[in-house]
């Protein structure tokens, strides 16, 4: 539901896994085969001598460093910047708006011919407050958090109320409901309660946004007392 680049993450993990597997295989061969260890040592020595020769042949005039050293340093800086950008892009896509309606869409449908324009938005806080208030009296629930995320793959044609749309620059948003339960709580009962709330929320909002429900345990679950029903 978030904006994490899953394809890029999988590619990077695959490359890292292959590199580690190759390093492990070379280490095993070097430890079990003396002939391979000798060839590996000789190859490494030749490569290091070649690197030293290249550095000595490309020194900057008037300085004791090589152009290759500057190039390697610049490459490391670029890689570091790319890594920071990659880390910052993880988990993006959070939105504070759940829906948006253009007022001119209604007038066009009604044939009023008015040129009045405007937008009506539904904040995520509306859904969050409704869900938290409905689960406040549930003894199996310790805490609830609600977030909305941009969902580019969701087709807005599935909305039941066509007055709400995002064809004029709005964003497709879905809800993520995280529920922390008590020890011994029944996930089935909690999920049934959440399903009932989501159905009521659909009727309240007039459309059906995609919903991801996460039932989890945490530190509060460990220290909270267990509710018993006589």
DSSP string, the chain: -----HHHHHHHHHHHHHHHHHHHHHHHHHHH-HHHHHHHHHHHHHHHHHHHHHHHHTBPTTSSSBHHHHHHHHHHHHHHHHHHHHHHHTT--EESEEEEEEHHHHHHHHT-------EEEEEHHHHHHHHHHHHTT-TTEEEEEEEEEE-TT--GGG-S-TTS--TTS---EEEEEEEEE-TT--HHHHHHHHHHHHHHHHHHHTS---EEEEEE--HHHHHSPPP---
Task: Summarize pLDDT for 71-120 with one digit per residue, the tens.
Answer: 889 999 999 998 888 787 776 667 777 777 766 555 444 555 555 567 77
Burial of 122 (0-12, 13-18, 19+ CB in 10 A): buried
Q: Can you give the pLDDT at residue 230? A: 32
What is the pLDDT averaged over residues 177-188? 85
Total residues found in the chain within this entry: 230
More confident residue, 182 or 219: 182
pLDDT for residue 229:
39
Using a 10 angstrom Cβ sphere, with 0-12 exposed, 13-18 middle and 19 or more buried, the burial of residue 127 is buried
Measured distance CA(41)–CA(30) in Å, rounded:
9
Q: What's the whole-model pTM score?
A: 0.51
What was the pLDDT predicted at 21?
94
Instruction: Specify the pLDDT at position 79.
Output: 92
- In this structure, the strands spanning 141-150 and 94-95 are antiparallel
Note the pLDDT tens digit of each residue in 26-53. 889 888 988 888 898 899 899 988 888 8
Contact status, residue 117 vs residue 25, Cβ threshold 8 Å = no
């Amino acid at each position: 539901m978030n904006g994490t680049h899953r394809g890029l993450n999988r590619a990077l993990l695959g490359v890292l896994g292959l590199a580690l597997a190759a390093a492990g295989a070379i280490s095993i061969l070097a430890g079990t085969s003396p002939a391979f260890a000798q060839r590996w040592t000789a190859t490494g020595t030749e490569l290091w001598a070649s690197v030293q020769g290249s550095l000595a042949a490309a020194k900057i005039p008037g300085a004791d460093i090589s152009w290759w050293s500057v190039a390697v340093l610049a490459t490391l800086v670029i890689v570091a910047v790319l890594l920071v950008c990659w880390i910052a892009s993880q988990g993006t896509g959070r939105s504070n708006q759940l829906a948006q309606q253009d007022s001119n869409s209604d007038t066009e449908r009604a044939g009023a011919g008015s040129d009045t324009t405007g937008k009506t938005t539904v904040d995520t806080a509306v859904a969050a407050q409704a869900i938290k208030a409905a689960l406040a009296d549930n003894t199996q629930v310790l805490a609830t958090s609600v977030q909305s995320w941009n969902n580019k793959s969701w087709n807005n044609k599935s909305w039941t109320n066509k007055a709400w749309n995002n064809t004029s620059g709005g964003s497709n948003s879905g809800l993520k409901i995280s529920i922390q339960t008590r020890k011994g709580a029944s996930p089935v009962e909690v999920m049934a309660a959440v399903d009932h709330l989501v159905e009521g929320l659909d009727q309240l909002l007039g459309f059906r946004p995609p919903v991801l429900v996460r039932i989890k345990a945490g530190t509060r679950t460990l220290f909270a007392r267990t509710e018993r029903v006589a």
